[in-house]
Amino acid sequence: MRSNTRMKKLLEQLEIDPGEKLKEVIGQAPEIILIDGCVFLADVCANCKAIRLEQFPDRTGYECLINHTHHRVGRGKKALTRVFEYIAGIRRSLRSLGGENFMIIIAVAKGEATVRFHQSRPGEVWLTDDLELYKHEAIMTIPA
């Protein structure tokens, strides 16, 4: 896992250990489907039928646009903890595919967490390597 300073401070302030939360899977892991060599959350993808791979420069951008969910977290520990539990479910679903590497990204800003993921592919990236460049968001990347 990698985080920028904003995320480290947020987790420290709320006393959240994401490593521990990622080990806990409460409830069912979300269903994952494969389309055009891409991996998607089934329930999110069902609402994105007008979006096509041809509209993107690469599969990573396609996956990140479709595989993003918004979670209201305010400033509380409980809501952000639930987001990490949700991420644990996604991680479990992705790992069940076997053999592929994935990156899960959580960004927190203005009381909202955005979670997205993509398959790791050579020459394709969603975020810059220097997470400190994201000045207005608390960012964490989680390999799956």
pTM for the model stands at 0.92
Q: What separation in angstroms does the CA of 69 have from each of 43, 117, 119, 132?
A: 11, 10, 16, 23
The pLDDT of residue 24 is: 64
Instruction: Please list the rounded mean pLDDT of every run of 10 residues in the chain (144 residues).
Output: 97 90 72 91 83 92 94 91 92 88 97 97 95 97 94
Which one, of 108, 102, 111, 116, lies nearest residue 134 by Cα? Answer: 108
The pLDDT of residue 21 is: 73
CA distance 46 to 105: 21
| 95 in Cβ contact with 144 (< 8 Å) | yes
The pLDDT of residue 5 is: 98
CA 4 to the chain's CA centroid: 15
The pLDDT of residue 134 is: 97
The pLDDT of residue 26 is: 63
